[in-house]
Amino acid sequence: MPAKAKSKKGAPAAAAAAAPQNPVLQTARPDWPKFEPLPPTSDLALTSLLEDQIVTISGLWTSTLCKKYVSFLANLPLVTTPGKPKKGDAVRVNDRFQIDDAAFARMLWEQSGLQDLVLHGDVDGEPLSPDQRAKLWGGEVLGLNPNIRIYRYSKGQFFDQHYDDSNNLLFPSPTGSIPAKTTWTLLLYLTSPATGCEGGETVFYPEAPKRSRAPPPQPVIASLETGLALFHRHGRDCMLHEGKEVTEGEKWVIRSDLCVRR
């Protein structure tokens, strides 16, 4: 179970990403389809959408694999979130399935090439020193949060502006549990305008530097792209963000988080 999200200190205007009011943590592990076909790993690269804050990997999953997953996920017992959040919680209107599944998180991390990219990949074509890499990801990277969330947004559904919290967890490893914390959110988009989904962009609102008189920076829009993975920094340095309303079709997302040693 993730700890319940709290509002970001000093930013009362927006809510935190809430745990569902009646959290339905699924226990029966789905019989996840194999990750096939995957693209050649040589086609994958880390690209900054906003330096030090948002990193994307285009085509992490092929459109064939995304389609296979959407068909599979549609048969899971998704639960519609209540429309009326508790005070301080973000309004989130979507259907969700949530499970603690360390094997799936490991499979996603190891098989889809994320591990290799995060631990060894260049960013925007530039190699990183070990220090730069640790600074970027927030420490010694262990893998993905076993807490896996599946979101389906149908027409009219959205995720209102909020911040994502960092959570502490015990990261499962073959040699025992490792005290860990989450540092970046991972969103893997399975649908896009190419699959008939309109709207649903994830929009980030960078803050102007403190005491700056400059106008606030322009929002950064992450448009949906089938198979694109997006990491964004969360916790103390999380940017305000939202999932825009879906205006046509369905938006499907797999959500996890990057974990580092605590």
Ligand X SMILES: O=C(O)CCC(=O)C(=O)O
Binding stretches for ligand X (CB under 6 A)? 17, 151, 159, 164, 185, 187, 202, 241, 243, 253, 255
Q: Please classify residue 215 by burial: count the beta carbons closer than 10 Å to its beta carbon, then call 0-12 exposed, 13-18 middle and 19+ buried.
A: exposed
Closest contact distance (angstroms) between CB of 187 and ligand X is 6
- Answer yes or no whether residue 257 interacts with Fe ion by CB under 5 A: no
**Alpha-carbon dihedral 221, 84, 10, 210, rounded to 10 degrees:** 20
Alpha carbon distance 221, 158 (integer Å): 15
Closest contact distance (angstroms) between CB of 90 and ligand X is 8
Alpha carbon distance 61, 145 (integer Å): 19
The residue (of 68 and 162) whose beta carbon lies closer to ligand X is 162
Alpha carbon distance 226, 204 (integer Å): 19
Q: Which residue number has the CB closest to Fe ion? A: 164
Closest contact distance (angstroms) between CB of 203 and ligand X is 8
The residue (of 121 and 202) whose beta carbon lies closer to ligand X is 202
Closest contact distance (angstroms) between CB of 94 and ligand X is 7
Q: Which residue number has the CB closest to ligand X? A: 243
The residue (of 25 and 119) whose beta carbon lies closer to ligand X is 25
E strands along 190-239, which residues?
198-199, 202-205, 220-222, 229-233
The 149-188 site mask, x for binding Fe ion (CB under 5 A), equals ---------------x------------------------
From 16-24, 106-114, 172-180, 208-216, span contacting Fe ion (CB under 5 A): 16-24
Quick one: which of 17, 60, 222, 260 contacts Fe ion (CB under 5 A)? 17
Tokens, residue 113:
């090439």
Binding site for Fe ion (CB under 5 A): 17, 164
